[in-house]
Amino acid sequence: MFKRIVFLVVGILAAFPAFSQETIKIGLVTALSGQSAAAGEAITRGLQIAIDELNTAGGVLGRKFELVRRDDEATPAKGVLAARELVFKEKVTVLFGGLDTPVSVAIVPIMNEAKVPFMGPWAAGTPITKNGANPNFVFRVSAVDEIVDKAMLQYAQKNFNTKKPGMILINNPWGQSNEAGLKAALGAKGITAAGIEKFEGSDVDVVPQLTRLKAAGADTLFLVGNVGPSAQVVKSLDRMGWKVPIVSHWGPAGGRFTELAGPSAPSVHFVQTYSFFGNQRPVGTKVLKMLMAKYPDIKSAGDVTAAVGVANAYDAMHLVALAIKSAGSTDGEKLREGFYKIGSYDGLIKSYKSPFTPDNHDAINENDYVWTQFINNEILPVGMKK
């Protein structure tokens, strides 16, 4: 009788493998409320589409994936609490850390100490991956400030004949990261900035800072700030009546920029890693169809806000799955080595070949950026007409 019961239980477990194999938990700490909530939702959607695709194919190591999210409210202290909960209570295999550089910078030491891989799908601060830890458990599929800063200068020179740019930067670690990167980029070309001005995320008027840059002869503005702060810069320029080219990091893409910035929103040219507009490779067509099928509010490419969050997270999740497969384990230290064993992956942003090495934890480089602007509330490649 006892043997029959044992065989019965074994048979049930075999018929329902979910009972015998726990899911692989993927954590996400990002802004899910406030002005940048749209960016957090974009990261979520990119992750979930990839997870759905992976689970439909059977998962990895015979296990399915599960997404567990927490809202950091764009606040480092709350991000740290959320990260600790996901790592030590939820036991996530990989933690994705979301939008804001200050939040990610605060989380990085926790991840390196816990020996749990941390994947960045948005925050671009250079010190996130170049954090001095050995071993380093932080990887990224996103823009990198020091590379973006070189691209910003190159774009400004080519399109606006920039000779004396001014910097208007958010006063936090992200702004500091870009100040260092822009100074290096300018110095490499023998260019001196007209001036460097800082502003707070809560500022509603930056006319004084912009007035100083105008008086110093700035012929272009390099802007670094998330949605709300960047919008305040544009509105302050309108109040001054100063029409000057604005070359921006990708902060404006993270939420309700056109609503907050007003009619001059299209004057900002900003960097992206991907656009669903224009000619798409088969992966792009497939992902857009998946998004439209899962999310009723997405009816066309213009409804994917922000595309960069979706694309970075989608590719990053597939690379995480390949790392787990290469490692043959979800153990943090083995998984870290698994990232170095990834061969090739035909992703949404590009076709990756050995995207991570012990000396390089950033999968995106200067050849992978797209310059965009808001046209009729949609993010389009610059110069593209619908």
Q: How far is CA 57 from CA 21, 47, 60, 329, in A?
A: 16, 15, 9, 18
Any idea what DSSP says for residue 162?
-
Identity of the amino acid at 61 = L
Q: Where is pLDDT greater, at 378 or 271?
A: 271
Asked if residues 121 and 313 have their Cβ atoms less than 8 Å apart, the reply is yes
Lowest mean pLDDT among 195-209, 222-236, 242-256: 242-256
What is the average pLDDT across 236-247?
A: 97
Contact partners, residue 319, CB within 8 Å, separation at least 6: 141, 339, 342, 345, 347, 352, 355, 356, 363
User: What mean pLDDT, rounded, does the chain reach?
Assistant: 92
Buried b (16+ CB within 10 A) or exposed e, 322-352: bbbebbeebebeebbebbbebeebebbbbeb
Is residue 15's pLDDT more than 60?
no
Say what angle helices 307-327 and 332-340 make with each other, to 10 degrees.
110
The residue whose two tokens read 């979800």 is 330
Is residue 337's pLDDT more than 70?
yes
Domains in the chain (CATH in brackets) are 17-143+282-365 (3.40.50.2300), 146-272 (3.40.50.2300)
Q: How confident is the model at residue 13 (pLDDT cuts 50, 70, 90)?
A: very low
Q: Where is pLDDT greater, at 256 or 102?
A: 102
Q: What percent of the chain has pLDDT over 90?
A: 81
Q: What is the pLDDT of residues 144-170, one digit of tens each?
A: 999 999 999 999 999 999 999 999 999
Any idea what DSSP says for residue 89?
I
Q: What is the pLDDT of residues 91-143, one digit of tens each?
A: 999 999 978 999 999 999 999 999 999 999 999 999 999 999 999 999 999 99
What is the average pLDDT across 288-316?
A: 94
Contact partners, residue 96, CB within 8 Å, separation at least 6: 26, 27, 28, 29, 30, 43, 47, 118, 119, 120, 121, 313, 316, 317
The residue whose two tokens read 């932080």 is 138
Q: Are strands 378-381 and 195-199 parallel, antiparallel or unpaired?
A: unpaired
Is residue 67's pLDDT more than 50?
yes
What is the average pLDDT across 290-310?
A: 93
Q: How confident is the model at residue 385 (pLDDT cuts 50, 70, 90)?
A: low
Beta bridge partners of 96: 28, 119
Is residue 19's pLDDT more than 80?
no
Take residue 286 and report the two structure tokens written for it: 């497939």
How many whole angstroms separate alpha carbon 379 and alpha carbon 365? 21
Peptide linkage before 306 cis (omega within 30 of 0): yes
pTM value?
0.84
Take residue 33 and report the two structure tokens written for it: 């409320």
Q: What is the pLDDT of residues 184-201, one digit of tens each?
A: 999 999 999 999 999 998
The residue whose two tokens read 């999210």 is 69
What is the reported pLDDT for 278?
Answer: 82
Asked if residues 164 and 192 have their Cβ atoms less than 8 Å apart, the reply is yes
Beta bridge partners of 25: 66
Q: Where is pLDDT greater, at 6 or 246?
A: 246
What is the reported pLDDT for 386?
Answer: 57
